[in-house]
Structure 1
């Protein structure tokens, strides 16, 4: 196992695969690097991929202390420093997109191109999920809540033909305190005032049928970041990048290639 050590002494486990221009892949809330298992190889013909286990997940340390999306962004920078990577493309989905907003806004020289998937700006300007979604996820029976999350991630047709395991439903090894810390970090995210300062070429991607993080957030972000492009994946839910990988992965690769052309 390979680790980067952050300024506060936390060990962050990271993984690197492939060759070429580095692409950092950032997972959703309470998930580790396995979030990307199904699609990671899609990027390897043109990119190396860098993933990490957020603090609180996977093989990283799990301190019971304040977490934030800005702190997660600092952890990503620590990984890039450990690898000697001065500049990388960044693709963040869900909470990973929130972390990516901080990286691009606060460390502009480290980001070549930016992809923000199924995410939101946070704060009072974001479009929150409906109360029916909240109730479904808060069911007292764990299996019922898990099934509700699965149906928010994928369409019924895809679920019927893909029995799992599903690596987007949370890291099963997380201790309870880390899950709570991740939830607070994601809920307290607010990058609205930072978005206009993002200078990296940016693509905003979202599933058109995403109810977990409503698709209405996508145009909010795209309108806020200078010259950002917006693309909605028809029929996509929250895990559009996996279910609709034949659409999403080439879209992202094409954008990254175009973004680096003079």
Structure 2
């Protein structure tokens, strides 16, 4: 079901499935270009086998995702160049508050790419609000600054960009075509604030501050870009986690969008198994 909830910068576009009392809830946080709705509930030609939301529902979870301010249909009351990690954390907090009002006091939390940075900082600040944490192909922040040369408030999610972004060796042709078409038709404009943040210098998630059981999950060909690599090698970040309940999983056959590529069912299973407690 698609709804709007109140957020600090306007209405937040939210999608939820299987939201029934007594079920464990998972909140899924988007990456830098695509909303949570398209990134986690991608479907085409009557096929739902690319939807992480549906895969988690099949395992008995309630699932919520949303679009950060300025993405998809979420409202934006200021410059899109100001939509960075802190603003996304504010929107995530609003989603957590709404979920609490629905009776879900301690949801599990997953973030993909930039979303990994968002949820990592949120969990470090509010461990009592989070159940288990999944950092999926997380852009954890820090490291070298990344030049932003376009000088435009909006990133254009064109067909060509996403068709080429989903590597052909890892992705079936029909999925590449469908995702690229849906991105251009439904989410053409995305705020460029995250690119401004990466140029100025992002704040790395502090591994030593995380207190929730944590899964780090990557496609084997992911994190080639500088902004993805951040300030810490993922194995080093993993070792610094002060946790007994943690896992680092590298899945073959995928890149930065591995959960939409050939190994997606394996990824869905790894996530669901980790969240099943």
Unaligned runs of 5+ in 2: 42-49, 150-155
- Matched residue of 2:97: which SS? helix
After TM superposition, the structure 1 = structure 2 runs for residues 181-192 of structure 1, keeping only pairs within 5 Å, are: 181-185=193-197, 188-192=201-205
Q: What root-mean-square deviation, in Å, do the aligned CA atoms of Structure 1 and Structure 2 show?
A: 3.1
Does 2:94 align with 1:78?
yes
Does 2:95 align with 1:88?
no
Would you say the 8 A contact 2:170–2:255 is kept in 1? no
| CA distance in 2: counterparts of 1:92 and 1:217, whole angstroms | 18
Q: Provide the residue aligned with 2:237 in structure 1.
A: 221
Q: Provide the residue aligned with 1:47 in structure 2.
A: 61
Aligned residues: 243
| Alpha-carbon distance, 1:162 to partner | 3.2
| CA distance in 2: counterparts of 1:205 and 1:57, whole angstroms | 25
| Alpha-carbon distance, 1:184 to partner | 2.4
| CA distance in 2: counterparts of 1:24 and 1:219, whole angstroms | 25
- Matched residue of 1:165: which SS? helix
TM-score, length basis structure 1:
0.79
| CA distance in 2: counterparts of 1:163 and 1:103, whole angstroms | 32
Q: Compared with structure 1, are the counterparts of its residues 162 and 54 closer, same or farther at alpha carbon in structure 2 (3 Å cutoff)?
A: same
Unaligned runs of 5+ in 1: 136-141
| CA distance in 2: counterparts of 1:171 and 1:100, whole angstroms | 27
| Alpha-carbon distance, 1:79 to partner | 1.4
After TM superposition, the structure 1 = structure 2 runs for residues 129-168 of structure 1, keeping only pairs within 5 Å, are: 147=160, 149-156=162-169, 158-160=171-173, 162-166=175-179
| Among 200, 212, 222, the residue aligned to 1:200 | 212
- Matched residue of 2:121: which SS? helix
Q: Provide the residue aligned with 2:24 in structure 1.
A: 21
TM-score, length basis structure 2:
0.76
